[in-house]
Amino acid sequence: MASSAFNSDAPVLAPPTIQLERDRTRQNIPTKKQIVDPFRQGLITQGGVGYTQTVVIRSYEVGADKTATLESILNLLQETALNHVWMSGLLGDGFGATHGMVRNNLIWVVSRMQVQAESYPIWGEVVEIDTWVGASGKNGMRRDWLIRSHVTGHVFARATSTWVMMNKHTRHLSKIPEDVRAEISPWFIGNVAIKEDVPEKIIKLNDSAKYMNSNMKPNRSDLDMNHHVNNVKYVKWMLETIPEQFLEGHQLSSITLEYRRECSSSDIVQSLCEPDEDSVEKDGGINLLRGFNMATEICEGSGLLGSLDTWPLKYTHLLQIKGDNKSEEIVRGRTTWKKKLSILPFSTT
């Protein structure tokens, strides 16, 4: 009789269970609250409920001007949020989901996000990212962040977001179950990174928007662990609609996003963008669009046209899924911009 390497009396784990146990061993997810994480340079702060992580801005996180891109900033916000849950000892096997959420087949989805950036860290700079959570109504959670210089303490950016729970099978929004509330509510604090007395209402654009990119299709690499398009990808699609000439001389100072529905890999996406013509750059209180046509004629062949060009500094955005009969909103957005410090105004002197 052939011998077996297994004890027939021992339980045999199903392959998915084996893989899950292997993953948890490799990840080494804490089962109880941790104070310090030496591998991520993170620690629990704010009386035991906040989280601070030290990060070095890497070369692949910056653009041509050597400053961190907005997409990199948003990815860092997402990463520190997940690491905060990791340190809490509450992380299950979901994308930031607690043990109670896993039992109830629930996941987090962001419904609103706002970022205000005064400036951006540069390549090689060491920054500290603070994050914490609080209640948002009866069935939501607010998460806030501060990004600041490790050396000077200067605050580069502030961010706030609102999250709700969704059933990962039905894709319907859910109330917070009592066992989940018991897990997360001890971590809630009342501090806010951005105080917003009356949330800004973002209008819905239509197909008459000035700028438009159509027939965009998500790639497999755009999907996150919850199998829908990552919200950072949405922002990239939005910003790509704005003319390149404007983006070269300006940096984003604030963005507000209102998420409406998920986007899957099979959807065809359209990005719309409408400038706010009342927000055109001004110099000394005089609208620079006055006489712009004459300046264009003078400088058209001189290479100085980009210096004279003026643009609105506020834009409204819409991402939508294009269907045969109707379009479904994915996310509405509002961006505000300012000139980059390195871009000097044209002078005749």
pLDDT digits (tens, 9 = 90+) for 187-245: 999 999 998 777 888 999 998 999 999 989 888 888 887 778 888 999 999 999 999 99
pLDDT at 253: 97
Query: Exactly one of 75, 99, 226, 299 is catalytic; which is it?
Result: 226
pTM of the model: 0.83
- Domain span at residue 184? 29-197
Which of residues 197, 229, 263 is at a domain's end?
Answer: 197
pLDDT tens per residue, the chain (349 residues)? 444 444 445 555 556 667 767 777 788 888 899 999 999 999 999 999 999 999 999 999 999 899 999 999 999 999 999 999 999 999 987 778 999 999 999 999 999 999 999 999 999 999 999 999 999 999 999 999 999 999 999 999 999 999 999 999 998 999 999 999 999 999 999 999 998 777 888 999 998 999 999 989 888 888 887 778 888 999 999 999 999 999 989 999 999 999 999 898 889 999 999 999 888 876 433 344 443 343 334 334 444 444 446 889 999 999 999 887 678 999 999 999 999 875 444 444 4
Examine the residue annotation and report whether 230 is marked as an active-site residue of this protein: no
Strand partners, 112: 162, 258
Examine the residue annotation and report whether 299 is marked as an active-site residue of this protein: no
DSSP class of 123: T
Together in a domain, 105 and 145: yes
Query: Exactly one of 83, 84, 230, 263 is catalytic; which is it?
Result: 263
> Per the domain annotation, does 8 fall within a domain?
no
Which of residues 197, 212, 236 is at a domain's end?
Answer: 197
Query: Exactly one of 228, 230, 231, 273 is catalytic; which is it?
Result: 228
Distance CA 298, CA 287 (A): 19
pLDDT at 190: 93
pLDDT at 183: 96
Distance CA 88, CA 98 (A): 10
Which residues make Cβ contacts (< 8 Å) with residue 102, sequence separation at least 6?
92, 93, 94
Together in a domain, 152 and 271: no
Distance CA 340, CA 249 (A): 6
pLDDT at 27: 81
Together in a domain, 59 and 91: yes
Together in a domain, 228 and 179: no
Together in a domain, 213 and 331: yes
pLDDT at 231: 86
Which of residues 197, 222, 241 is at a domain's end?
Answer: 197
Together in a domain, 293 and 332: yes
> Per the domain annotation, does 239 fall within a domain?
yes
Examine the residue annotation and report whether 263 is marked as an active-site residue of this protein: yes
Burial tier of 291 (Cβ tally within 10 Å: 0-12, 13-18, 19+): exposed
Q: What is the DSSP string of 90-120?
A: -B-SSSS-BHHHHHTTEEEEEEEEEEEES--
